[in-house]
Each structure stands twice: as C-alpha cells, then as structure tokens.
C-alpha cells in the first residue's frame, strides 16, 4: 500500500492538473513534526475572460465582484485559503451544463460548493469558477406513497427536513450538521448515527441527475447509467455535478435517547461493535469526554425497538447509567484529589453540554423531536470555531480498535481536551460505489469511523500545530491501512499512499476520459 518511497522528497514546481504531486509528507518524516500542507497552486487564469464572455452570451453572468469572491476564501476547515476568479450561483441543471461545456472549452477550473463543510480545502477555489450549488434548493416532489423525495442537490438537509416535516416525513440519514447540502453529502458519503443500520447518506439516493464534466445531462440510477451513478456517489465531485436527487425518506418519528457511561474507551468500543453487529439500536455512537468518561449513545425510533433493547441487550452492556457512573467517578476522584482539574472539567461538561443535548423546546414527552438541530447546534457551540480540525479514520472492524486507541494517544499529545466520535457504517451498496472512497476497501458488512475532535476552547493554535496533529492522525491510516471520511484537498498527498498506485491510476484514467481538460473540482483528488 505504501508507495511514498517512490517519490522525490519535496517538489515545488506546480504540478499539471491530473498529476498527483509528490507527497510532501516524506516517508521518513518524524512523527509529529510540523508538516507542509498541500494547498494547490493558483490557477494561472488563462482564457478566463473568454470563458466569462461566452457564458455572458448565454445570459449566464459570472459574479466577479470582490465582495462575492471573498465569501468563499476558505471552507469549514479554515486552513486552506484561496480565491475564485468569479462566482456563479447555480440556478438550473441547464445552466450547470453550459458552465461545464465552456469550462472544458477554455480549460477553466470549476470548484463546486454545497455547504462548504469540507475541512481540507476541497471546496476552496484557487482561481477559476466557484459554482455555488445552493441556488438549486427546491423540493421538487414528495411521494408520500412510495416514501421518496426529489429535490435539487444544493438544498441543505435542514431545509429538506423543514419541508418534509410539514408532511409528517423525514429524511433517513444525513451528517449531524444542518448546513451540509444533499449534493455535497452524496458526493462524499455522509455519516449519521443511524449509519450502522442504514449505511451512509449516499446510499439513500435512488437516482440522481448529473452534469458530466463535459456538460452532458444524465439521469442516473442503478438501472440507468449505473456506471455514472456509482462513480458520482462518493466520488468527491470528480466525475460529475449532482443537480437533483431522489432520496428514500420515512415517516417522521421523535426518538428516545439513552446514554451509557464507561470508564474505559476500549470497553465502550467493544459494546458499540456488539450493538452494531447485532442491530440492537436504531442509532448508536460513542462520544468521549475523557479517557475515563466515555459516552455510548443509543436511540430508538419506536417503543418496540427500545423495549427489545432493554430486554435483550442492555444487560450485556458494561456501561453505567448517569447516576451509577456519577457515583463511581465521584469516588475515583475523591481517592485521587490531585486530579481535581479533571474532575472539574467533567463537571463543567456535564453542566454545559448535557442540557444542550436535551433542550426542553426540542423535546416532546421525553423524546427528542429534532435530533439534527440539537446535535448540530451543540457541535458548533462546543467544537466549532474559525478552524474545524476534525481528522478521522474509517476502518474495517478489525482495525477499528487500533486506529482509535492510537488516535486517542495522538490527541492527548496535542490538546488538553478533545472528543472522539465513533460510529459504524453499514455497507449496503455495490462494491464499485465505494472504490476510492471513505469506505475502506477491506471492510466487510460494517465499517467503523472515528472523528478526532479537539476542543480548541478559544485558544489560538498555530496552523502548523493543527496540521501536524491532522497529519499524525492521517499517518495512522497510512500505517495500518484505513480510509478517511474526508480525503482530497490538502490530503491529496495521502491518496496514493493509502490506496496504492493501481487503484489511483485506474481512477485517474477514468477521470481523464470523462474530464479531458481536468477542470471539475481540480486538485481535490486529481
């Protein structure tokens, strides 16, 4: 797997589009030393004017005002900075098709952005056109009988939920982040705490309308243009722009949530794996506060599932309820008074975070009514900042423990406080869909993922510090052979090391054949 040795150390000449540059993380780099990040270089701008004029002749007006371009200088990660030459808010599939035709003709890079929640600069344009898909946010058709929705792909999951709820319906799974878009999520995967049952968000798509990199409009599903369907889903925007999607949906139900607390991460992980393997809960995930305060969250859509859990699985869980855990933890710290800071931190977390996860106005008869709103608000409030540093590893069941425990040690080196967020991801689609994606090639049945989320707590960290931390987490993936929820952008240098030349070159050849000028989301992967 590890091909890094093949490359010369550090090459400063701008690579040609389509050539993955030499990995700047040299194979013999000392673990933890500050690393170079792999921001691509600025596009030279040739033919930009001709591109803009051609679009203008078709009544498509690129916004070149400074204030508009400045809106897009970074993504949620806040580590990569670039500026597009102009911005276009997508308003129709036809418009996107015209853009891609002109982009091919003039060789102008097009960087597609949904919510822009990438953290490695994948949605940051380094020159060229920024195509903001959120102008296409309509809900086109709700089919209550067959439980499907057709929507435009720029729509935020939250806006989709808002529209569906009026009809007593809900989406199946989406990132715990209200400002991610349907198209962006289908492009990268999308992990929810119900992913151990339902797979990733991309797996909820029954059909998509895409614009190919050469501007062709295609309707794709497992039965129509299936190659495109499985290339574009989880394809990091390399093979097409998703403009519409038909998704499976469900009847809305509030959910009941339970927390179990562990004094040990490995035990909690074992229990999570057991719950996922045995399909014991509708939602399951781990959130850590400290090594000795680990929270296993389970939730249920129906009372029957909840009852079944308490009859069959609760007794097998080794975690405690809130009171039992508080008593044990209290005793632990009473016997170790020198650890009072840790105890205070835990108390503070309990005081501030727990109420945010159960706000009265989002509860109805003890059940959580708007889980995404609750979680997303909490995520931004407690972990959010100008820089979102959330490296992750996605592994097979076998590698899950090593990956997380090693990552946990890395977190400790860099930050006083952090959270690990672990979930399972059921593999429900055909294998070709997951090639070169967040689903690791060696995972069978259920893959597991872990996000490592430092609490920046208003402190200022240097970019080098944050980047070194991320690299050290990503290095674990290279070392033991995992994948990542997010890759590309500044992680581009890792891709060959993780997936190997054969697979990457196969995809590069496919990319070249469908995107001859290599303009769509240039530098994200290719």
Ligand X SMILES: Cc1cc2nc3c(=O)[nH]c(=O)nc-3n(C[C@H](O)[C@H](O)[C@H](O)COP(=O)(O)OP(=O)(O)OC[C@H]3O[C@@H](n4cnc5c(N)ncnc54)[C@H](O)[C@@H]3O)c2cc1C
Q: Which parts of this chain interact with another protein (CB under 8 A)? A: 65-74, 76, 78, 89, 115-116, 132, 134-137, 154, 156, 158-159, 161-163, 165-167, 178-179, 360-362, 370, 373, 376-377, 380-381, 384-386, 388
Minimum distance from CB of 123 to ligand X (Å)?
A: 4
Residue selected from 98, 120, 122, 271 as contacting ligand X according to rule CB under 6 A: 122
Q: How far apart are CA 441 and CA 97, in angstroms?
A: 33
Q: How far apart are CA 341 and CA 346, in angstroms?
A: 9
Q: How far apart are CA 91 and CA 313, in angstroms?
A: 49
374 makes contact with ligand X (CB under 6 A):
no
180 makes contact with ligand X (CB under 6 A):
yes
123 makes contact with ligand X (CB under 6 A):
yes
The residue count for binding ligand X (CB under 6 A) is 36
Q: How far apart are CA 261 and CA 294, in angstroms?
A: 6
Which tokens go with 488?
């590309």
Residue 132 touches which member of another protein, ligand X, none, C-beta under 5-8 Å by kind: another protein
| Cα distances (Å, whole numbers) of residue 13 to 49, 60, 513 | 26, 35, 25
> Which residues lie across from 63 on neighbouring strands?
87
Length of the chain: 526
SS3 assignment for 110-125: EEEECCCCCCCCCCCC
37 makes contact with ligand X (CB under 6 A):
no
Using the minimum distance from each CB to ligand X, give the nearer residue, 100 or 191.
Answer: 191
Residue 360 touches which member of another protein, ligand X, none, C-beta under 5-8 Å by kind: another protein
Residue selected from 137, 177, 372, 419 as contacting ligand X according to rule CB under 6 A: 177
Using the minimum distance from each CB to ligand X, give the nearer residue, 4 or 289.
Answer: 289
For ligand X, the binding residues in 205-234 under the rule CB under 6 A are: none
Residue selected from 74, 93, 185, 212 as contacting ligand X according to rule CB under 6 A: 185
Using the minimum distance from each CB to ligand X, give the nearer residue, 55 or 423.
Answer: 423
The closest of 450, 444, 414 to 431, measured between CA atoms, is 444
Place of tokens 């040990």: 264
Angle formed by the axes of helices 157-165 and 371-378, to 10°?
150
Minimum distance from CB of 239 to ligand X (Å)?
A: 9
Kindly write down the DSSP assignment for every residue of 130-183, as one continuous string.
EEEGGG---EEEEETTTTEEEEETT-BHHHHHHHHHTTTEEES---S-TT-BHH
- Say if CB 31 and CB 473 are below 8 A apart: no
Residue selected from 24, 127, 190, 429 as contacting ligand X according to rule CB under 6 A: 190
424 makes contact with ligand X (CB under 6 A):
no
- The residues that touch ligand X, with contacts defined as CB under 6 A, are 76, 112-119, 122-123, 133, 153, 175-177, 180-181, 183-185, 187-191, 236-237, 241-242, 379, 388, 485-486, 521, 524
């Amino acid at each position: 797997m590890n091909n890094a040795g093949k490359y010369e150390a550090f090459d400063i000449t701008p690579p040609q589009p389509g050539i993955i540059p030499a990995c700047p993380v040299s194979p013999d780099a000392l673990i933890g030393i500050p690393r170079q990040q792999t921001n691509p270089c600025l596009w030279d701008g040739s033919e930009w004017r001709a591109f803009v004029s051609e679009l203008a002749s078709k009544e498509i007006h690129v916004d070149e005002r400074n204030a508009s371009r400045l809106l897009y200088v970074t993504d949620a990660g806040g580590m990569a900075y670039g500026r597009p030459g102009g911005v276009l808010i997508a308003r129709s599939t036809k418009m996107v098709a015209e853009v891609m035709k002109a982009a091919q003709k003039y060789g102008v890079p097009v960087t597609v952005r949904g919510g822009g929640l990438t953290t490695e600069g994948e949605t940051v344009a380094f020159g060229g056109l920024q195509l903001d898909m959120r102008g296409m946010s309509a809900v086109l058709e709700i089919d209550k009988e067959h439980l499907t929705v057709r929507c435009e792909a720029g729509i935020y999951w939250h806006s989709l939920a808002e529209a569906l709820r009026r009809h007593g319906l809900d989406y199946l799974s989406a990132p715990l982040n209200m400002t991610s878009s349907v198209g962006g999520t289908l492009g990268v995967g999308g992990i929810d705490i119900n992913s151990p049952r339902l797979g990733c968000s991309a797996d909820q798509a029954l059909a998509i309308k895409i614009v190919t990199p050469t501007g062709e409009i295609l309707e794709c599903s497992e039965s129509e243009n299936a190659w495109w369907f499985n290339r574009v889903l989880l394809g990091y925007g390399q093979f097409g722009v998703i403009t519409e999607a038909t998704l499976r949906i469900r009847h809305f139900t509030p959910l009941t949530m339970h927390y179990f607390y562990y004094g040990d991460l490995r035990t909690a992980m074992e229990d999570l794996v057991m719950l996922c393997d045995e399909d014991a809960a509708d939602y399951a995930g781990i959130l850590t506060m400290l090594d000795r305060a680990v929270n296993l969250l389970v939730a249920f859509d129906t009372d029957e599932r909840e009852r079944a859990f308490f009859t069959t699985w609760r007794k097998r869980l080794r975690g405690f309820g809130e009171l039992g855990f508080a008593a044990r933890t209290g005793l632990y710290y009473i016997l170790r008074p020198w650890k009072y800071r840790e105890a205070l931190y835990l108390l503070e977390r309990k005081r501030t975070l727990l109420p945010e996860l159960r706000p009265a106005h989002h509860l109805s008869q003890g059940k959580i009514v708007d889980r995404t709103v609750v979680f997303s608000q909490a995520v931004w409030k407690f972990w959010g900042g100008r820089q979102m540093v959330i490296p992750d590893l996605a592994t097979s069941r076998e590698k899950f423990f090593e990956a997380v425990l090693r990552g946990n040690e890395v977190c400790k080196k860099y930050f006083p406080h952090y959270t690990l967020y672990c979930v399972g991801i059921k593999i429900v689609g055909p294998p070709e869909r997951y090639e070169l994606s967040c689903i690791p090639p060696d995972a069978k049945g259920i893959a597991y993922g872990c996000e490592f989320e430092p609490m920046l707590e208003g402190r200022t960290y240097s970019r080098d510090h944050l980047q070194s931390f991320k690299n050290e987490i990503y290095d674990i993936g290279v070392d033991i052979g995992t994948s990542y929820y997010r890759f590309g952008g500044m992680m581009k240098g890792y891709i060959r090391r993780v997936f190997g030349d054969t697979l990457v070159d196969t995809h590069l050849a496919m990319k070249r054949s469908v995107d001859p000028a290599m303009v769509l989301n240039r530098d994200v992967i290719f």
